[in-house]
A and B are shown apart, each in its own frame.
Chain A
Amino acid sequence: KAGVTQTPRYLIKTRGQQVTLSCSPISGHRSVSWYQQTPGQGLQFLFEYFSETQRNKGNFPGRFSGRQFSNSRSEMNVSTLELGDSALYLCASGRGDVGEAFFGQGTRLTVV
């Protein structure tokens, strides 16, 4: 079956702009999580959605937000981009009742 799909794969944005990233989970998975990966901080949890509800949130500023649709697809939005937001953003999906997460290939965001 198809894996987790993230679009776009690459993005270049200017400071102050906003960006929306998309994630399509594996069919039947109702949980979608987002992570930020940087060389300095490694993989950091952003938030998790299950059945359109945010269940968990990491320690990121309010500029980072997300949502989940009824078909389990999810989007994350970053407003007022800063240079430090340049990172690989990973999405992961799961069945909802176990800790195993299936990851997408990520969206590489560069803020200039």
Chain B
Amino acid sequence: AQRVTQPEKLLSVFKGAPVELKCNYSYSGSPELFWYVQYSRQRLQLLLRHISRESIKGFTADLNKGETSFHLKKPFAQEEDSAMYYCALSVNSGGSNYKLTFGKGTLLTVNP
């Protein structure tokens, strides 16, 4: 069975500092990896997915199959980045790749 691990429950950085949210996964095949974000009092929303390889709000994430990691990075954190971040993995099952396995999440706080 697949598993997603986010080792940090809490992460606090200062504005302008680099930030890295760690995500490791276990799955023997080729999964799709995602980062979802939940800002205060808002719904869970997709931040980025590895196959699109795009940068959203300055965040990037590279899939490292050797280390089975998908860490989220941003060179200069902003206060508005404060939120709960979830790493998620999906595998094709039953003709569907909507079965998402989530990590427990990392609460990022960016201090002024």
Interface-centre pick from B49, B93, B95, B96 (highest chain A CB count, 10 A)? B96
- Interface segment among B22-30, B75-83, B102-110: the answer is B102-110
Partner of B99, one of A56, A102, A106: A56
CB of A89 closer than 8 Å to a CB of B: no
CB of A94 closer than 8 Å to a CB of B: yes
Interface footprint category on A: 20 to 34
Kindly count the residue-residue contacts between A and B in the assembled complex, taking CB atoms under 8 Å apart: 62
Interface-centre pick from B49, B98, B101 (highest chain A CB count, 10 A)? B98
Using A99-B34, A103-B44 as known contacts, say yes or no to A31 and B96 having CB atoms under 8 A apart.
yes
With a CB–CB cut-off of 8 A, which chain A residues contact B90? 99
Partner of A42, one of B34, B49, B96, B103: B103
